Amino acid sequence: VQAGEGATKAAVRPTHTQVTQTALTIAGYTKVSRQAMNDSAELMQAIDVTLNREIAKALDAALMVGNVTPAFDGLLTLATAHTSLNYSYLWDAASEGVATMLEAGLMPDVVTMSPADWLGVQTARNPTTGDYFSWQYLNPLPEYMRGLRVVVSPNMTAGKLMLLDSKQIDLRINDAFNVEVNYVNDDFIKNQATVLAEMSVIPVFRAVGAARLITPKVA
């Protein structure tokens, strides 16, 4: 608060620590026949179904688990652990984690869960009445839980969830997903070609505590 009209205002100087993060390149290839090359629909199927899926899976594993070269620890390692003392339901433990992050000046807006745990949230019922907790089951399923955007990851630890402040965590696309087709070794005489797909990203983690790994209370 300014002391009075004409008084000097307080200086705010954030403390920064410089870090270096090398771009991560995620790449893979598949072989296709020359006949498939002449069929654009089949070629697109190979790219969309096989390469796109596998690159996405590898990227998810690199971001969540890390353990890659060049080094990135992964969000499961970088996240601050928080065990709920009061709540055994995932959604209640998430709300407790949100409160903890808000107290630290962070604004969580994303929750990451395993596919099985997200299914459990979708189908959870009141044990007394049998009613679904959050919505009618046959209605379109929401992509939000308690106001948090849900991101499902097969690499998320089962029985836990991760809260993220997306303003403090960023994935910069250094080189977007691209595809190249060429002959490798004896591809030409075998009537086939090699399709290579790759992308390059730079994960940015700006603040300690911007990711919280939440463990519900043991019921």
Question: In the numeric block, which tokens belong to residue 157?
Answer: 């630890």
Task: Check whether 86 has a pLDDT greater than 80.
Answer: yes
Identify which of 72, 61, 88, 67 has the alpha carbon closest to the alpha carbon of residue 24: 72
Q: What is the mean pLDDT of residues 2-27?
A: 84
48 against 107, higher pLDDT:
107
Give the per-residue SS3 of 120-134. Answer: HHHHCECCCCCCECC
- Cβ(126)–Cβ(165) below 8 Å: no
* Cα distance between residue 132 and residue 122, in whole Å: 8
Q: What is the mean pLDDT of residues 56-77?
A: 89
Mean pLDDT of the chain: 87
Name the pLDDT band for 4 (thresholds 50, 70, 90).
confident
Q: Is 74 helix (H, G, I), strand (E, B) or coil?
A: coil
Residue pLDDT, tens place only, 170-181: 889 988 888 888
Residue pLDDT, tens place only, 206-218: 888 999 999 999 8
Question: Would the pTM count as exceeding 0.75?
Answer: yes
Name the pLDDT band for 93 (thresholds 50, 70, 90).
very high
Sheet (strand 169-182) strand order: 24-33, 192-205, 169-182
Task: Check whether 146 has a pLDDT greater than 70.
Answer: yes
pLDDT at 211: 95
Task: Check whether 117 has a pLDDT greater than 80.
Answer: yes
Task: Check whether 57 has a pLDDT greater than 90.
Answer: yes
- Cβ(175)–Cβ(118) below 8 Å: no
Task: Check whether 145 has a pLDDT greater than 70.
Answer: yes
Q: Which residue has the tokens 């499902």?
A: 152
* Cα distance between residue 177 and residue 179, in whole Å: 7
Q: What is the mean pLDDT of residues 157-174?
A: 93
Exposed, middle or buried by CB within 10 Å (0-12, 13-18, 19+), for 89?
Answer: middle
127 against 98, higher pLDDT:
98
pLDDT at 69: 81
- Measured CA angle at 43 (ends 39, 45), to 5 deg: 120
